[in-house]
C-alpha cells in the first residue's frame, strides 16, 4: 500500500530577499498537495516505496529515497514536464535517477500560474520551483541532524545522501522522510549559488519519452472511461453564419447514434475572459457510441444555417473591460487585402503610438528613402492532436480531463456555465499533442462539460481535423508598411512603421529599431472581423519580426552595408545614445546573438556563393538570431543550413532547448513558406492537410546548428522566441537566390510566380 501524507490548507506565501553573499533567502508557508495522482514511471523502471511522505505541494519522498516531483504546468511539447522538476531536483540535491515525475492537476491552493503560454513557465516558475526543492532539502537536513545527533551545519547533501563532515555517519533521504514530513516548514531557506548547479544546465531526457515511443495512453484523445459516449460538433460552414435549424430525425436511426442536441457554449449574459473566444455561439452536437458512427452521422445531418447579425461580446481581458465586435457579413481574403492596403496607404483611422524627433523633417531631408509593405494571411494552429475534452458531470462534481493550456481560466468558465462552484470542479491535464496557443482557448472544455451535464453521462467531445481547422481562433492576418530615411552618409535617420491587422495590430512600438533612430514614428490600425483569432506561437512577433528583418535587410543594402554590421551599428547607437526611454530590449544582448550567429555561420568568410539571409529578434524576454542558407530546387527550395543563436539566460535543459529551437525554426520556415487560411464568402478554404500545406520532412533544413549565449541570467522564454526571426532570414535568403524580394506570405506563392516568369522569359 502506498499512502500519501497530506497537509492542511495554508495558502502559499512567498517573499524573497537578496543576500549580500549572492544566495537568496526566502520565506513562505506551504500547504501540501491535497490530491493524489497516479504514479508515472520514467524511462527507467524504479522500485516504488512502501510509503510516501509529502514535504510540500511540489514533492514527496518515498521511504526508499525515491522522490516524486509534481510538474505544475501544462505540457504542450515545450518539455516543462522535464525541465520544471529538474529545477526542484537541483535544489533538493536528489539523484535525478531517483526522481519520478507526475503531472499535477489544477490546484490553485498550491500552485500559481498553471498555464502554458507566453513562454513563461520556466521564467515565472524559476524561484518557486527552486524554493520548493530547497525547503524540502532543509527539512530533510533538520530531520537528519536530529536523527544523527549532530549540528545541522556539519551536514552536507549529495544525490539524496546526507553526510556528516566530521564522522563517517550518513543517512539517505528515505530514512528521514517520515520525520521530515512532521516538521514545521522552515521560514527561510538558502538557495544554491548558480555555479554549484549540477542538474540545471545538463541535458536530461524527456520523462515521457518511453511512453511516447511505446504508444502508451498520454493524450486527451486517449481517454476512454466506462460508459463514455463520443460527441462531435457540427458547426456553421462559414464565419458570419449561425444555426437556424436542424433535423435530428435525419440521423437518429443511424447505427450507434444516441442523441443529437443543440448546445450553447456560454450562457448569454456570461462575461467572457480572454480565453473564452469561440467562433460560433451555438453548435449542433451528435452523440453516439463510437467515433466512426458519430463521424458518419455528422456528415448526414440535415442542418440549415442563416446569416448571423452583428455580434458584440463584453469581455473581461486580464482585468480590463473590453468590447469585441464581430460585424455581420461573409468575408473574403481578397476583400481583406484591399481593405488593409487602403488603410495603410490612406492613413485614416490610424493611431500614433510613438513618435521620436521629427520624422516628417527626416523624410523630407532624406538623401534616400526605402518604402515597402508586407502581408501575412490567417494561419491555423493545426495541433497534431485535434481539440477534444472528456467530461463527467454529475450533481456532486464535474471531472474534466484533457489537453488545455489554461486550466485555471477554464475552471471559472465551466463553473459559470454549469452553475457549479469551483470546488466541485476537478480539471486534470493530459499531455498535449501540441498547443501553439490554440489550447489557450478552451471553448471545447465548456462544451464538453455542458454536454455531459445535459446528457447526464460521461462524454468525450472530439473535433475532427476539419472541425478543428475550420473553427477559427486563427493567427490574425497582418499588414505592415515601412519607410526608412537615409542621410547622405547612409545613416538611418528616419523610420516609420504603420502596422495593422484583422483584428489586431502586430505593432510593438518600443522594440528595435525604436531607440536606435532619431526620428521614429510608430502607428497602428485594426479592422474588425467575424473570423475569430487567438494567440499563435509568439503572437504578433510571428509576423512583424520577419517583415521588419527583411525590410532592414533592404535598407542595409540601400545603405551599402553588410546586414549584420548595419544592425550592430544601430544597436550600438541604441546602447550608447538611446532615443526615448521606453525601449523594450537590451541592445547588448541583442548584439550578442548577432555576434554569435555570425561566428557559428562563418558569416565573414563563408558566405560567398551562398544564398544566405540573416535576421534577429527579441521577444518573450529572449534574443534569437538566425542565419539561413538555401538553394532553389525543382521549383521549390531546399534549406541547407540554419544557424540559430539564442540568449535566454540560463538554459535549464540544453538538449531539450535545442530541440525546441530546431522545432521553432522549422515551424517558422513552414508557416512563412506554406501556411495559409483564406476565405471565400466566409468559408475557410483549407480544412485538412490535403489543402493546408504543412512543412514536411523533405522541406525541413538539412542542418540546424543551435548555440546559446552562456551567462547566468535567470532563465527567460524558449518556446516562442526561436520561431519569429527565421522568417526574416528565409525571406532574405530567398532574395539572394532569386534577386527578388519576398513581401507576401505564404512565400511559396511568390516563388511560384517567380518560376512562372522565368519560364515565360526563357
Partner 1 sequence: MAAFKININGKTETVDVDPQTPLLWVLRDHLKLVGTKYGCGIAQCGACTVHLNGSAVRSCQLPISAVQENQVTTIEGLSENGDHPVQQAWLEVDVPQCGYCQAGQIMTASALLKENPNPNDEDIETAMNGNICRCGTYTRIKAAIKTAASKTQSA
Site for ligand FES, rule CB under 6 A: 77, 384, 434
Q: Which stretch binds partner 1 (CB under 8 A): 310-318, 351-359, 384-392, 478-486?
A: 384-392
Which residue bears the cell 484533457? 402
Q: Give the one residue of 9, 22, 255, 335 binding partner 1; rule: CB under 8 A.
A: 255
Does position 634 interact with partner 1 (CB under 8 A)? The reply is no
Taking the complex as a whole, the smallest distance from the CB of residue 669 to partner 1 amounts, in Å, to: 9
Q: Give the one residue of 198, 688, 711, 757 binding partner 1; rule: CB under 8 A.
A: 688
Does position 215 interact with partner 1 (CB under 8 A)? The reply is yes
- DSSP 8-state code for residue 714: P
CA torsion through residues 572, 368, 581, 714, sign: negative
Helix, strand, coil shares of the chain, percent, nearest 5, are 30, 30, 40
CA torsion through residues 716, 718, 720, 724, sign: positive
Q: List the one residue out of 31, 34, 111, 29 whose CA is nearest residue 74.
A: 111
Kindly tell me the burial class for residue 146, based on how many C-beta atoms sit within 10 Å of its own C-beta (0-12, 13-18, 19 or more): middle
Pairwise CA distance, residues 496 & 500, whole Å: 13
Q: Cβ closer to partner 1: 101 or 656?
A: 656
Does position 121 interact with partner 1 (CB under 8 A)? The reply is no
Q: Which does 166 bind (CB under 5 to 8 A by kind): ligand FES, partner 1, none?
A: none
229-248 footprint of partner 1 as x/- string (CB under 8 A):
-x------------------
Angle, helix 541-558 to helix 563-576, in steps of 10 degrees = 110
Size of the site for partner 1 (CB under 8 A): 66
Q: List the one residue out of 124, 132, 101 whose CA is nearest residue 38.
A: 101
Taking the complex as a whole, the smallest distance from the CB of residue 624 to partner 1 amounts, in Å, to: 15
Taking the complex as a whole, the smallest distance from the CB of residue 222 to partner 1 amounts, in Å, to: 4
Q: List the one residue out of 445, 552, 30, 3 whose CA is nearest residue 223.
A: 445
Does position 433 interact with partner 1 (CB under 8 A)? The reply is yes
Does position 690 interact with partner 1 (CB under 8 A)? The reply is yes
Q: Cβ closer to partner 1: 19 or 209?
A: 209
Residues 283-342 that bind partner 1 (CB under 8 A): 290-293, 295
Q: Cβ closer to partner 1: 254 or 303?
A: 254
Does position 430 interact with partner 1 (CB under 8 A)? The reply is no
> How many Cα atoms within 13 Å fall on the side-chain side of residue 254?
22
Pairwise CA distance, residues 453 & 414, whole Å: 11
Taking the complex as a whole, the smallest distance from the CB of residue 286 to ligand FES amounts, in Å, to: 20
CA torsion through residues 741, 744, 747, 748, sign: negative
Q: Give the one residue of 307, 600, 663, 749 binding partner 1; rule: CB under 8 A.
A: 663
Phi, psi of 286 (to 5 degrees): -100, 130
β-partners of residue 241 are 307
For residue 180 the three cell numbers come to: 521530515
Q: Give the one residue of 283, 645, 704, 718 binding partner 1; rule: CB under 8 A.
A: 704
Q: What is the CA radius of gyration of the chain?
A: 28
Q: Cβ closer to ligand FES: 27 or 434?
A: 434
Q: Which does 631 bind (CB under 5 to 8 A by kind): ligand FES, partner 1, none?
A: none
Closest-CB residue for ligand FES?
384
Taking the complex as a whole, the smallest distance from the CB of residue 428 to ligand FES amounts, in Å, to: 21
Q: Distance of CA 634 to CAs 218, 637, 736, Å?
A: 40, 8, 17
Phi, psi of 133 (to 5 degrees): -70, -45
Q: Cβ closer to ligand FES: 242 or 381?
A: 381
Taking the complex as a whole, the smallest distance from the CB of residue 463 to partner 1 amounts, in Å, to: 10
Q: Cβ closer to partner 1: 43 or 245?
A: 43
Does position 382 interact with partner 1 (CB under 8 A)? The reply is yes
Which secondary-structure segment (H or E) carries 518? none
> What residues make contact with partner 1 under the rule CB under 8 A?
43, 76-79, 203, 205-206, 208-210, 212-219, 221-222, 224, 230, 255, 290-293, 295, 382-386, 431-436, 464-465, 655-656, 659-660, 662-667, 670, 688-690, 694-698, 700-704
Amino acid at each position: 500500500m502506498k499512502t500519501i501524507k497530506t497537509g492542511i490548507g495554508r495558502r502559499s506565501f512567498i517573499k524573497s530577499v537578496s543576500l549580500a553573499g549572492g544566495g537568496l533567502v526566502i520565506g513562505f508557508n506551504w500547504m501540501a498537495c491535497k490530491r493524489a495522482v497516479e504514479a508515472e514511471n520514467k524511462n527507467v523502471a524504479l522500485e516504488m516505496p512502501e510509503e510516501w511522505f509529502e514535504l510540500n505541494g511540489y514533492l514527496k519522498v518515498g521511504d526508499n529515497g525515491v522522490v516524486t516531483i509534481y510538474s505544475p504546468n501544462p505540457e504542450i511539447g515545450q518539455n516543462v514536464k522535464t525541465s520544471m522538476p529538474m529545477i526542484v531536483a537541483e535544489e533538493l540535491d536528489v539523484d535525478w535517477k531517483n526522481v519520478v515525475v507526475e503531472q499535477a492537476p489544477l490546484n490553485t491552493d498550491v500552485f500559481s500560474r498553471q498555464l502554458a503560454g507566453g513562454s513563461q513557465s520556466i521564467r515565472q516558475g524559476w524561484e518557486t520551483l527552486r524554493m520548493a526543492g530547497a525547503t524540502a532539502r532543509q527539512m530533510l537536513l533538520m530531520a537528519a541532524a536530529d536523527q544523527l545527533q549532530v549540528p545541522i551545519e556539519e551536514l552536507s547533501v549529495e544525490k539524496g545522501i546526507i553526510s556528516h563532515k566530521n564522522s563517517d555517519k550518513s543517512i539517505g533521504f528515505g530514512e528521514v522522510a517520515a520525520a521530515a514530513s512532521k516538521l514545521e516548514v522552515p521560514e527561510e531557506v538558502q538557495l544554491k549559488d548558480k555555479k554549484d548547479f549540477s542538474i540545471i544546465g545538463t541535458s536530461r531526457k524527456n520523462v515521457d519519452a518511453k511512453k511516447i515511443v511505446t504508444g502508451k495512453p498520454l493524450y486527451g484523445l486517449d481517454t476512454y472511461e466506462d460508459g463514455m459516449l463520443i460527441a462531435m460538433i457540427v458547426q456553421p460552414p462559414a464565419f458570419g453564419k449561425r444555426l437556424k435549424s436542424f433535423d435530428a430525425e435525419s440521423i437518429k436511426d443511424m447505427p450507434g447514434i444516441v442523441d443529437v442536441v443543440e448546445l450553447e457554449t456560454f450562457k448569454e449574459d456570461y462575461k467572457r475572459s480572454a480565453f473564452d473566444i469561440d467562433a460560433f455561439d451555438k453548435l449542433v452536437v451528435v452523440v453516439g457510441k463510437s467515433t466512426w458512427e458519430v463521424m458518419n452521422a455528422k456528415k448526414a445531418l440535415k442542418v440549415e444555417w442563416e446569416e448571423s447579425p452583428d455580434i458584440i461580446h463584453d469581455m473581461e481581458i486580464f482585468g480590463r473591460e473590453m468590447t469585441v465586435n464581430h460585424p455581420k457579413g461573409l468575408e473574403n481574403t481578397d476583400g481583406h487585402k484591399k481593405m488593409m492596403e487602403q488603410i495603410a496607404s490612406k492613413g485614416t483611422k490610424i493611431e500614433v503610438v510613438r513618435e521620436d524627433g521629427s520624422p516628417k523633417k527626416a523624410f523630407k531631408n532624406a538623401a534616400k528613402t526605402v518604402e515597402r509593405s508586407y502581408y501575412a494571411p490567417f494561419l491555423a494552429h493545426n495541433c497534431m492532436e485535434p481539440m477534444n475534452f472528456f467530461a463527467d458531470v454529475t450533481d456532486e462534481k464535474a471531472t474534466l480531463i484533457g489537453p488545455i493550456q489554461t486550466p485555471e481560466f477554464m475552471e471559472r468558465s465551466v463553473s459559470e456555465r454549469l452553475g457549479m462552484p469551483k470546488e466541485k470542479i476537478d480539471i486534470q491535464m493530459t499531455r498535449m499533442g501540441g498547443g501553439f496557443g490554440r489550447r489557450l482557448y478552451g471553448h471545447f472544455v465548456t462544451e464538453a462539460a455542458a454536454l455531459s451535464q445535459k446528457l447526464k453521462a460521461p462524454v468525450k467531445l472530439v473535433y475532427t481535423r476539419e472541425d478543428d481547422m475550420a473553427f477559427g481562433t486563427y493567427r490574425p492576418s497582418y499588414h505592415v508598411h515601412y519607410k526608412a530615411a537615409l542621410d547622405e552618409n547612409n545613416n538611418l535617420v528616419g523610420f516609420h512603421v504603420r502596422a495593422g491587422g484583422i483584428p489586431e495590430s502586430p505593432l510593438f512600438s518600443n522594440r528595435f529599431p525604436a531607440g536606435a533612430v532619431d526620428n521614429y514614428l510608430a502607428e497602428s490600425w485594426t479592422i474588425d472581423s467575424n473570423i475569430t483569432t487567438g494567440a499563435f506561437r509568439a503572437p504578433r512577433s510571428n509576423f512583424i519580426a520577419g517583415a521588419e528583418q527583411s525590410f532592414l535587410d533592404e535598407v542595409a543594402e540601400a545603405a551599402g552595408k553588410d546586414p549584420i554590421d548595419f544592425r550592430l551599428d544601430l544597436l550600438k547607437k541604441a546602447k550608447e545614445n538611446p532615443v526615448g526611454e521606453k525601449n523594450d530590449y537590451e541592445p547588448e544582448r541583442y548584439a550578442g546573438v548577432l555576434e554569435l550567429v555570425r561566428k557559428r555561420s562563418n558569416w565573414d568568410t563563408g558566405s560567398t556563393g551562398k544564398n544566405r539571409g540573416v535576421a534577429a529578434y527579441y521577444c518573450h524576454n529572449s534574443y534569437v538570431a538566425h542565419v539561413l542558407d538555401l538553394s532553389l530546387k525543382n521549383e521549390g527550395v531546399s534549406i541547407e543550413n540554419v544557424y540559430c543563436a539564442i540568449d535566454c539566460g540560463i538554459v535549464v535543459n540544453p538538449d531539450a532547448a535545442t530541440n525546441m529551437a530546431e522545432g521553432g525554426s522549422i515551424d517558422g520556415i513552414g508557416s512563412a513558406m506554406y501556411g495559409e487560411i483564406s476565405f471565400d464568402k466566409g468559408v475557410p478554404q483549407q480544412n485538412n492537410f490535403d489543402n493546408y500545406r504543412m512543412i514536411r520532412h523533405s522541406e525541413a533544413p538539412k542542418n540546424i546548428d543551435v548555440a546559446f549565449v552562456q551567462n547566468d541570467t535567470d532563465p527567460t522564454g524558449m518556446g516562442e522566441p526561436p520561431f519569429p526571426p527565421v522568417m526574416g532570414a528565409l525571406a532574405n535568403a530567398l532574395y539572394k537566390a532569386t534577386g527578388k524580394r519576398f513581401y507576401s506570405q505564404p512565400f511559396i506563392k511568390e516563388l511560384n510566380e517567380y518560376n512562372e516568369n522565368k519560364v515565360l522569359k526563357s
